[in-house]
């Protein structure tokens, strides 16, 4: 079973899933589904997974499909067909976004959430012996024009963690830092936790495999 099976399960159980979400999260789910197969695909799949993991109980069929499927994505799914199956079936209405549902507002909310995570300044990164311009490090731009580097990327008191750098490169952190940060800081159904909190407590290869499964879906 693969992640696309979880999307198919979402269609089948749509009414039940939406009944468990508040209005804002239901609209965000619709917006993310609309991005499937497009330029924001990787971020959309990550966020859909995060929403469903946070909101559904472990025994829910959609949550079970997510938990079983994360590493088994050898075949490339037809994401456009899956997306249209949701959109055209009337289960995800293509209506104008309601309050808080505008894609730009959703992106702003996601960015604000990621910026609230513990982070280092440019000077602190240099003190750790790292290059702030290193493309294998996630660098987030703040609304005030400043920049910050999520601290989970660094070992306590020292430099960058090799496994984090490897995963960042796999997730395209240099060109999509928000997407990479969202993967690390969001709930992950297969790993049953937030990857950023699992560094050092699970085998590095497990993190790499989970990230590779997402990267190969794009």
- C-alpha 211/C-alpha 218 separation (Å) is 12
Distances from the Cα of 57 to the Cα of 28, 61, 208, angstroms: 19, 9, 26
Mean pLDDT for 128-136 is: 95
Distances from the Cα of 22 to the Cα of 18, 25, 101, angstroms: 8, 6, 12
Confidence of residue 109 (pLDDT cuts 50, 70, 90): confident
Phi, psi of 216 (to 5 degrees): -75, -15
Confidence of residue 195 (pLDDT cuts 50, 70, 90): very high
- C-alpha 105/C-alpha 109 separation (Å) is 6
Taking only Cα atoms into account, the Rg of the chain, rounded to an integer number of angstroms, comes to: 17
> Which tokens in the block code for residue 141?
């731009």
Burial (CB < 10 A; 0-12, 13-18, 19+), residue 167, is buried
pLDDT score, position 165? 96
pLDDT score, position 38? 72
pLDDT of 182-194, one tens digit each?
889 887 777 878 8
Nearest to 149 by CA among 172, 129, 171, 124: 124
pLDDT of 7-53, one tens digit each?
777 777 887 888 888 888 888 888 887 777 777 777 787 788 888 88
pLDDT score, position 7? 72
pLDDT score, position 92? 46
Q: In this predicted model, which residue has the larger pLDDT, 179 or 74?
A: 179
> Which tokens in the block code for residue 157?
């008191």
Mean residue pLDDT of the chain comes to: 78
Most confident of the ranges 67-71, 95-99, 109-113, 147-151: 147-151
Q: Answer whether residue 140 shows pLDDT above 70.
A: yes
Domain ranges for the chain: 3-215
Spatial neighbors of 190 by CB under 8 A, at least 6 apart, are 66, 67, 69, 70, 71, 210, 213
C-beta separation of 14 from 91 below 8 A: yes
- Angle at which helix 3-12 crosses helix 61-69, to 10 degrees, equals 170
- In what side-by-side order are the strands of the sheet with 140-141? 119-120, 147-150, 140-141
Helix (H), strand (E), coil (C) string for 95-159: CCCCCCCCHHHHHHHHHHHHHCCCEECHHHHHHCCCCCCCCCCCCEECCCCCEEEEHHHECCCCC
């Amino acid at each position: 079973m693969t992640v696309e099976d979880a999307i198919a399960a979402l269609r089948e159980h749509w009414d039940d899933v939406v009944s468990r979400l508040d209005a804002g999260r239901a609209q965000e789910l619709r917006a993310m589904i609309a991005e499937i197969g497009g330029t924001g695909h990787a971020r959309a799949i990550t966020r859909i997974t995060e929403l469903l993991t946070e909101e559904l109980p472990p025994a829910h069929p959609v949550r079970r499909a997510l938990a079983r499927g994360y590493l088994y994505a050898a075949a490339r799914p037809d994401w456009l067909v899956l997306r249209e199956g949701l959109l055209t079936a009337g289960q995800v209405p293509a209506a104008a976004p309601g309050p808080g549902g505008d894609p730009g507002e959703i992106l702003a909310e996601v960015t604000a959430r990621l910026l609230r995570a513990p982070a280092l300044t440019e000077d602190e990164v240099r003190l750790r012996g790292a290059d702030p311009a290193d493309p294998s490090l996630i660098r987030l731009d703040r609304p005030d024009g400043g920049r910050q580097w999520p601290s989970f990327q660094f070992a306590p008191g020292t430099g960058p963690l090799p496994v984090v750098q490897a995963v960042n490169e796999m997730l395209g952190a240099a060109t999509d830092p928000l997407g990479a940060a969202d993967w690390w800081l969001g709930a992950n159904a297969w790993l049953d936790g937030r990857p950023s909190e699992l560094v050092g407590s699970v085998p590095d290869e497990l993190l790499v495999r989970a990230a590779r499964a997402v990267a190969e879906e794009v």
